[in-house]
Structure formats: structure tokens, C-alpha cells
Structure 1
Amino acid sequence: MFAKAFRVKSNTAIKGSDRRKLRADVTAAFPTLGTDRVSELIPGKEELNVVKLYAHKGDAVTVYMIGGNPILFELEKNLYPTVYTLWSYPDLLPAFTTWPLVLEKLVGGADLMLPGVVVPPTGLPQVQQGDLCAIALVGNRAPVAIGVAAMSTTQMLASGLKGKGFSVLHTYQDHLWKSGDKSSPPAIAPLAMNPTDSNEEKVDPGLHGNLSSLTLEGEEENRKVHHPEASEDTSSGALSQDSQDSKPLQEQMDELLHQCFLHALKSRVKKADLPLLTSTLLGSHMFSCCPEGQQLDIKKSSYKKLSKFLQHMQQEQIVQVKELSKGVESIVAVDWRHPRKGSTLEGGEVRRIVIDYAKRNSLVDADNRNLVRLDPILCDCVLEKNEQHSVTKLPWDDLLTRCLQNMQPAYQVTFPGQEPILKKGKLSPIDITLAQKAYNKKVTVVRNLETYGLDPCSVAATLQQRCQASTIISPAPGAKDSLQVQIQGNQIHHLGRLLLEEYRLPGKYIQGLEKAPKPGKK
């Protein structure tokens, strides 16, 4: 429905009476949500906007927006949750699973056909024709689409999982999703299952259909979609029993709360987002930063409430919280230079972390140990946008290389008796070049001495005395606050001896020594 751009008719703030009516309608439409969670979804004092729009096919749709995100939409007097809402309440609707490669087709406006439905060992959820359902991807319970069942579960199985399964209404990455903060689905591990269960024990293998001929309805041409063999990793991201037993639940939740809060500030919140509603921080950013296999629940922490936790973070001088309107708190400032940032990792440490993560979450391909299956977290870390739905595995070398390339390069220089100096960017070597001057005269130019703690003036004075040649010190072109030394003639041999033997710099940090004059030549 929202595969193409829609036209907005109006955008107004909701009245108090309409807010109460909406809350009642949501309670009636989704009775399993409960009164408390309905109040969380539609808070009493936070600004709630009603957007009237026309979809590209002319359907009149009402969208309810909170904190800049669409949370519900209404079509023909029926209420539907958006993917943003389902990420906070993943069990709100009966959920069916499909392959990651299928998502791109759903975003393009296709309906989900039954050959693309993955049958779990516990069997398909029991639904009736016309029921509203969520659609998730293999390995992650966070819904990526919602649709209406085209037939009951009994009819699906009786058909041998052939034909149209769901009429898709809304998806992650469609234009309704783009009207929000465009955050990605959180990583929510599949429900744990008995490890002794197997597909053969629970489901007739014939009901899986021919996966190599999976087709989708809604395209100009029904093309075949091929996807690799895959299996749900039911233990992905789960805490080990030892770690669960070692700490009380409240302490674990406190640590998870801090982790999600700092991760959200570091990777999702920008200066331009401030002031930011505290409820938006939690619902749109912190929940989506929750590690795979864990569920953030503030009520189980020692803080009990988000406001109390944020007061503590304000005391730590990480954020500043103010009540900009009555009863509604917002984050108005963030100390971006707080010590939470700036930690560094060496290449070897990055490799160990990635390898440990893949092994701990059983991502090493069972058929080929040289390949790693990409879960949602690794996809976000290493894949380009055009690869998100086509690349499902990577060789170890490629995975590790991509992880390193996507990190901010930095280097650290330590001088005797001083604190180490950490700088962003790549370490530039000392650069030695030869330049041709008037009357065919050559000069030696050396740059980047300051990076290694060398004073260009001292180096110039030493070379002038040893080479019996004039030297000039001037600003280095294209380098702020950096000087270059120019020595008359080809003096690379003397310069190399000075840098390598006296200053004892490793040769790998010096570029251009090969241009020294050959023996017997001037």
C-alpha cells in the first residue's frame, strides 16, 4: 500500500477526547496488548498527531504519529500497527517467517506467496482468513511487514503451501516507514525451542514446497527467487546460563539499560535531533539498540522508570533533561565528549571480537566452515545497502576486512615521559621527495616530521651542517600547522641515516628512501 509515495491531506494535533477514543479503539482491536501497554503506546501527555493522506492507489488512510514516528494507521475503519510499533511489541500479532531475500520484493509492493513461508519446527501459527499477521525474517523476530492472511492455516497446509498467503499492507523501508526516523529493525532472537525437535518430527517435509521456485505476486513478471539453504538459529544472541546465574536479574537489566542508552546516543542520536522527547529516545532508539536475544524492560531494573534513570544520567553529566511542556520531558543537551566515547581497539582485538561473536552465536556455516552467516547485526556492520537482501554469507577474510574498513582509523604516538597522543585518521609516513628547480638543480623535500615528534627546525639545522647545503623551512602544502624542510641537492642518503640510525624510526614509517643516489653517482 505504501510502496510508492503518498499525498498528505492534513496534519493536526489530536484532541484529548479523540486520544481517549483512540486508546479505547486500540484496546478493542488488540486485546492482548493490555491497558498498561496501550497507555505506553498512546501516552496521555505526549504530542500525538493525526495525518490524513491518500495512498498512491487513492485509498484514504489516517496515520497516528508520536515523536515523529507513525505508530498506527487506519484504513476503512480498521486499525493496523506500523513496524515501529511491532518492534516494541513483537508478539502483538501472529507472526510468520520468510527469507531475507524476499523482503526486497515485499518492499516493492509484492504480496507474500506461501512457497516463501518458512515452517518452523513448532508449526505455523493458527490464523483464520482475514486475520492480521506480522511477517519476520529467518533468525530475527522483529517484524518487517504486516499483512492480511489470504487463507486460514488449515487451508495453507491443505494447499501444500501453494498460492497467495498474505496481502501485504505495510513494510519496513516503504514510504510509511520513511515518514518516521528510518531506524532499522532491532535484533530479537527467535523463541527458544527444544533442541531435540526437528522439522521432520513436526512437519511434513512436503509442505515446505520447492524453495528454488519461490514466486511473489505483485510484480509485472513473476520471476523466480533463489535463496541459499538456511536454518533458524534459535540460540542466537542468548545469554549463557553461566552469565545469567552469575548476576541478579536487576543488575543485568541495569547493565543492559546503560548499554542501550549509550549505544543510542553514540550511534543514533544526532545534535540536530535535540531537543529529543525522552519517550522517543526509548521507543525509537534504545529499544532498537537492544542486543539480539535480550529484551529491555525498565521496570525490571533498579530505576523502575525512565525518568529516574535519566535523572541519574543527568547527575553523571551525560545529558541534560528539561520539561519543555507540562508533563513532557525532553533531552536538550548531550555531552558528546563524555568519557563513554573514545575507546580504541587494535586490529587484532577487532578480529578476536568478530570471531568470538560469530562462534558464540553459531553463525559459522555448518557445511562450509570458511563461511559466516550474516545475522542482522553483522548485516548492518559490513553490507552496503544494495547487498542487504542478496548477501547472506561471507568468507572469514572478507568479513574481517570489511569490519576493519568500516571502523574509524586512528593511531597513537607515545613519547618518553609523556601521555600517549591519540589521533583520528591514518598514520601518514614521513614523506621524502625530490623536486626539480631552476637550472636543473635538485632539492630534497621532507614532510610529516611533526607526527613523529621531530622538530623541522632542528632537523633542518642538523642536515645543513652535515650536508653543507642550504635548507629552507616552509608551510607544507595542503597540511594545516605542518612544516616541510627543503635541502639543496639529493640528500636522501644523509636524511635516511639521520632518521633510521640516530632517531631510530622504523623504515616502514619512512617513504622515499629508495630515491637516494646510487653509489658512484652524484
Structure 2
Amino acid sequence: MFQKPFRTKSNTLLRSSDKKRLRSEVEKSFSADGFSLPITEVIGNKEEVYILKLYSHKGDNVAIYSMRNSPVLFEHEKKIFPSVYFLWEHTMLVPSIPTQTFVIQKLANGADLMLPGVVFHPNLDFPCFERGSVVAINTLENSSALAVGVALMSSNEMLESIDKRGKAVHILHVFGDHLWSLGEKTQPPTIPHTFDTHENSTLDKNTELENLVENVEINSSEVETETTDTTEAGCSLEGGDKQSTDTEESVENETDTLMEKESIDESTSVEEETEIEEVIDMDEVLRVCFMTAIKSTLKDNQLPILASSFYRSHVLPCSPPDVNLEIKKTSYKKLGKYLKSVAATGLIEVKELTKGADSIVKVNRSHQDYCHFKVVKREADTNESEEKNTEVQFGVVTQKQYEPPEISLLCGVNAATLSFFKEMGVSKGGVLMPTEVRSLVTEYVNMNNLAEGRYVKLDPILHNTLFGRQGSADVTQESWENVFKILTSKMQVHYQLKFKNMTPIVHKGTPPCVEISTQKRTGNKKVTLVKNLESFLIDPHQFMDVIRKSAQASTSISLLPNSKPNHPFYQVLVQGNQVQNVESILTGELYKLPRKYLKGLENAPKPKGKRK
């Protein structure tokens, strides 16, 4: 539904009466499956909820409810659906169906989830749901929701299907689509599944023990039959009795040793678990992670922050790599109880801004515990912090902090220069750096002994490449610099955008520019138009919010008519002549774009002369 750009109809703040209606509908929709949703925590009384009404690319009417700069719910055909942002905070809200990782990319391209794509793992409980229920899609590697849809089969129909064919889920919303791009554009959290491996291992051990005992009994019965046969043949009964007693003793010895081995394994595993529990003090781990979070990752401009969001986004990432922080294994059992104990010391201030949800509103950075605590930085942490600024999952690229690209010009091999580069093993369409072109020319000249001091003798191939078949027939030599200059001028111009931790982006032509223009509208009012931000991976929605706050002017965004569905380009409109504000934002600390890649700066208002 949101794979292609949609058309916005209106975006307004939700009234209190509509907010109550939304609360009742959400509670009715998602509390029927036995999951108690704290509705006051989800949609607080003082929480600002915006409703965005739009038309999808197929013409469907959709209402999107947004809170805290991210869409949380959307309504389609009088039914409420959660977004992936909402499901990352409330993981047990709807049943989750696991699939393979490569299937997510298929869903992002507009496909529905087919029954062969559903994974029925033996150690993972398959959820129960009816046909028409709202379900989420995740992977075996990560239990976080990556898609939302409507079940076209019940869970029993999926499990009892023999041929495993047909559509299982009709997909409405996928991570990375245009609904996700309306939010903060964060990557899904990594939450591993809890596989039931212990019960299966004990069952396997019991079955192995039973099989061994059965084999021993079968062997003993075979031996008994052999002894009876030998006694009938005239063998002594004493020998037969002795042999049977030996087999019985061997059976007893084998079963005893097996039982002893099982008891030893169980005792050692219990001892190892007690040793681990004794070594790891979960209260101390919680304290270190909490102090590290408020001293290194939590900034004052992020306050107030919900306690649950602080724990998920700041405390858990600070846990050591070999220890899983679990609040239930501490003496506090609950996060709220621990925060109250910390607040009693005066280090933080906790308030209930929304009913039933605690928030951290202040951190006392002059507190004695805060000043004496030292953050332990690991080498792996520094490397991860550099790498995690740019994250890529399922083809979706996000940057926590925008970093400008390195822009460079490249030279492409075309028909005019193919005769020379073909001799050097470069085919048509190859793209080279200017330094690589220079090295290839030098290698060719030295290989054919064409160097004469400051000049280069032109053989037929080099002469034909530089001047053509009928041009400058009397020129037999050229300087080194002229050879390089003429050759690169005849090649196809390319440009390269190299972002950090991303594969370089190469396109034909000269480097792009952000186009800034002004227009006069009705009433002789001027507006500023900004487009082509996507060429530098700048989010136009984020830029619109920044320019609105900076210029204190109304803004809007529209889809350009000539943009492609897979690569949409938007145009940001700002009331008034805001060229100088646009320049200061794009060249400032946030985006750091070079001024030469901004086109239309001459449209800025001229400074007024001094009055006489």
C-alpha cells in the first residue's frame, strides 16, 4: 500500500474527542487476543496526535496517526493497523509469523507473503490467529516486526496445509516504505527469538537412553536363545548359566554407567549455572549500564524521555557484549522501582507526565555519583560507533547523523577513445579516475618507446585517438600535459558520490546541484522552492522541518511530476524569500555541503542600502 508515493489530503492535530475514540478503537482491536495494552501509556492525555489523511497510489483513503515524529497507527477500510515503529515498542501486540530474510526484500517490492515463505520452526511456537487477523512478519534472526498485513489463512489452515501453496498474508506496510519514511527512519532493533532447545535436548537424551536399554535387552534375549540352543545340543548347564549371568551383569553395568554419566552431566551443568550466577551480579550490571547511558549517550536536549524508551535505546546498548542485561534478574524486578531508588539519591528526577508512564525529566550532572563514575570505553565500542552511523538492512540505508559525500569527477571510455583504451585492456563503458588515465598513458608510451623528453611521439593509435582520422595530420608529437588534457576532454564525464560505509554512487554527467528558486504567487507573495535534495541523500521531510523552525515560516512538500516511482524526488516550498536560510542550513553543521553545489544563490534578497 505504501510502496509508491501517496498524495496528501490534510494533516491536522487530533481533537480530544477524536483521541478518545481512537483510544477505544485501539483497545477494542488489540485487546481481544488476550494482550492487555496500557492505552493511557500509548496515547497519553497530553500527547499530541496528528492525523494525516491521504490517497494511496491506488486511490485508497488512508488515515495515519502520528506521535513523537513517527507514525504509530494507520486506518484502512475502518480497521486499525499498527506501524512497524509501534510494534517495535509493543512486540506482543499482534501475532508474528517468521519467514526467511531474503523474503523481506520481495515484500518490499510489493509482493504478498506466500505460504511456502512461512517458516515452521520445530523449536519456535507458531502463533494462533484466525483468518482476517492483523499479523506481523519477522525473520528467524530477528523477532522485530518488519511488515504488517492481514492473514488470508488461519494458523490451523497454514499448519494443516499439505501442498503448502497459496497466499498466506496480504501485506499492507513494510519496513523501508513511504509510511516508514514519515517517521524518524530508524533501523529495526535486534531482538533474538527464544527457542525451546532445553526440552528438546532432554527429550533427545531420554530417547537415546531408552534406545540403548532396548538394544541391550535385545542383545540379552539373543544371548539367552543361543544358550538354550547350546544346552539342547549337549553343552553343560553350568557354562550356559555362567554366560547368561555374564550378559546380565554387562547389561546392568552399561545401564549404571549411562545413568551415572547422565547424573554427572546434570550436576556439572547445575554447577556451571550456579557459578555463572555467582560471578554475574545483575544489580551491578544494571548500575554500570545506567550510569554509562546517562553520562555518554543521553543528552539534555533529549529530555524528558519515557523510561521505557530510555531503557531500550540507551541502557541496553551499553551492556557488555558477553552479558545480557535482564531487569527481571535484578533485585528490583521492575525498571520503575530502580528509577525511583536512583531518584531518591537526587541523581535524576522522574515524573509521571502521562498517566501510567514514568519519564526522566532531569539529570543532575553535578551529582557526586555522576562526577565520580568513569565510562569504560572499549576498542570495539569506538569502532562500532564509527560503523553504526550508517546502517543498511534489507536495502534500506539510514544515517543517524548526516555526513556529506566525497564528490569526484571520473572519465568514461566512449567510442572516441576506445581505440586507445582497447590496447590497454579497458572496454567501452569503463569508468576511470583521472590518475588512472594518466598512469595508463604513461604505461602505453613507455611500452612503445614513444617518450622524447617533454614530448610524446604520436603513433597511429594515439594520433587517431587525440585528433581523429582527418585532423592535424602534420602533428607528430605533443607534450605530456597536452596528451592528458586532450584525451580526458574527449572522454565521457562521470561523477562519483562516496558516502561513508557505502558503496560509491556513480552516474553520467556533471555533479548534481541543489536547485533553489523563488516564485511570485497570488497577492505578490514570494515563495522559495528547493529541489534535488535526494541526489545528496538528504531527506526532504527532515529538511522541511529544519527550515520551518529556522525561518519561522509555513512549509509544504510536493512530489515532482517527472520523478520515477522507484526514485521519487520532492520539492520543498517555504513562504517568503528564504534563500539565505536555505544556504546557511545546507552549508552549516547539519549537512556541510560545499557552496559550489548550490544553484540559485543569486536569488537571495539584496541588502538594503543605508538611508540618508
TM-score, structure 2 as length reference? 0.42
Higher helix share: 2
TM-score (norm 1): 0.49
Q: Which has the larger radius of gyration?
A: 2
